[in-house]
């Protein structure tokens, strides 16, 4: 028992040392610039001073060092006020922009798909969610552009060289076009279903992506997810479904 207690003391010291080293290491990686590094150096010295004065019971020096350490929080806040403000702005703006981007992507997509379907132009659009789709894509052209209804529409126009296959949206960007997807292997799928819809079902059986299909034949829009197809969606219904399925995952 006594041995255990002695070891506990040793373990405590080791843990203490490891934690301190970890905090100092993380801080040194965070701070950039000569001035910040000097300040971190001074803080480390002060902390060392605090430990030494405690160890040797130097009460007057300890009082001084402790006062300096306590006031260092205020001093740091003043020195780095611009950086702190910038960090907060970036943090809040990022979340806000993310919200806006996802909503914009859905609006653009719904608009494009509705107008393509109306003109009886077929389209296949994959929206990646948490499981990456890349390994299931064959051929395709890398694009990496902002999602706009004009871009989507122009890709699927019959004379476009990349109108065959699917467009891929990843992390809110249109990343690829002309991609071929694995066809469904489900024997229960209607025999009359064409390959565009079979491709949408096939990918959705393998990953959690949401796939939107505009049918050239019927001029209707379908949404496919998890091997299930919802047909005849008008733009408000498609938008509502997409917001429910896509936005919460993207925001994670
Ligand atoms: N494996 C695939 N991956 C992606 N797209 C595919 C794949 N196979 C076919 N397509 C697309 O589907 C088109 C053919 O559609 P098809 O008419 O056979 O299907 P459909 O489901 O009946 O669609 P629609 O209702 O638009 O006619 C091809 O020109 C191509 O663009």
Q: Which CATH number is 235's domain given?
A: 3.40.1700.10
- Count of domains in the chain? 2
Residue nearest atom 21 in ligand 1 by C-alpha distance? 194
- ipTM over 0.85? The verdict is yes
For ligand 1, which residues put their CB under 6 angstroms from it?
Answer: 122, 124, 164-166, 180-181, 183, 193-197, 199, 215-217
Regarding whether 82 and 20 lie in a shared domain, the answer is yes
Rounded to the nearest integer, the mean pLDDT of the chain is: 83
Regarding whether 78 and 198 lie in a shared domain, the answer is no
Q: Which atom of ligand 1 is nearest to the CA of 179?
A: 4
The pLDDT score that the predictor gives to residue 249 is: 47
pTM value? Answer: 0.65
Q: How many residues does the chain have?
A: 252
Regarding whether 112 and 78 lie in a shared domain, the answer is no
Last residue of a domain, one of 39, 62, 92: 92
Rounded Cα distance, 223 and 231, in Å: 7
Q: Are 195 and 207 in contact (CB under 8 A)?
A: no
- 32 C-alpha to ligand 1 centroid (Å): 53
Is the pLDDT at 13 greater than 80? The verdict is no
Which tops the pLDDT comparison, 115 or 246? 115
Mean pLDDT of 113-123: 95
- 193 C-alpha to ligand 1 centroid (Å): 10
Going by DSSP bridges, is the β-strand pair 123-127/166-170 parallel, antiparallel, or unpaired? parallel
Last residue of a domain, one of 70, 92, 114: 92
Regarding whether 245 and 139 lie in a shared domain, the answer is yes
Regarding whether 230 and 162 lie in a shared domain, the answer is yes
DSSP for 157-177 reads STTSTT-SSEEEEETTEEEEE
Is the pLDDT at 95 greater than 90? The verdict is no
Q: Which domain holds residue 187?
A: 100-250
Regarding whether 148 and 36 lie in a shared domain, the answer is no
Last residue of a domain, one of 92, 108, 141: 92
Q: Which atom of ligand 1 is nearest to the CA of 124?
A: 5
Mean pLDDT of 137-154: 92
Widest Cα–Cα separation across the chain: 90
Report helix, strand or coil for 177: strand
- 140 C-alpha to ligand 1 centroid (Å): 15
């Amino acid at each position: 028992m006594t041995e255990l207690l002695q070891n506990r003391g040793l373990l405590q010291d080791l843990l203490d040392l490891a934690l301190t080293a970890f905090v100092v290491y993380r801080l040194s990686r965070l701070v950039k610039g000569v001035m910040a590094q000097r300040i971190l150096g001074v803080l480390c010295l002060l902390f060392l001073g605090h430990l030494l004065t405690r160890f040797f019971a130097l009460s007057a020096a300890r009082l001084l060092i402790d006062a300096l350490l306590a006031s260092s929080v205020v001093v740091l806040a003043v020195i780095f006020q611009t950086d702190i403000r910038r960090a907060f702005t970036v943090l809040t703006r990022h979340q806000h922009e993310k919200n806006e981007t996802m909503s914009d992507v859905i609006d653009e997509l719904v608009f494009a798909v509705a107008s393509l379907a109306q003109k009886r132009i077929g389209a296949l659009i994959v929206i990646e969610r948490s499981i990456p789709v890349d390994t299931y894509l064959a051929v395709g052209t890398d694009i990496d552009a902002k999602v706009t209804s004009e871009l989507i529409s122009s890709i699927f126009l019959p004379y476009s060289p990349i109108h065959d296959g699917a467009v891929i949206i990843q992390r809110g960007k249109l990343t690829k076009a002309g991609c071929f997807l694995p066809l469904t292997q489900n024997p229960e799928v209607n025999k009359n279903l064409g390959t565009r819809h079979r491709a949408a079902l096939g990918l959705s059986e393998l990953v959690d992506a949401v796939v939107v299909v505009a049918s050239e034949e019927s001029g209707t829009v379908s949404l496919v997810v998890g091997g299930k197809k919802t047909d005849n969606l008008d733009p408000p219904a498609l938008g509502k479904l997409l917001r429910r399925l896509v936005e919460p995952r993207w925001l994670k």
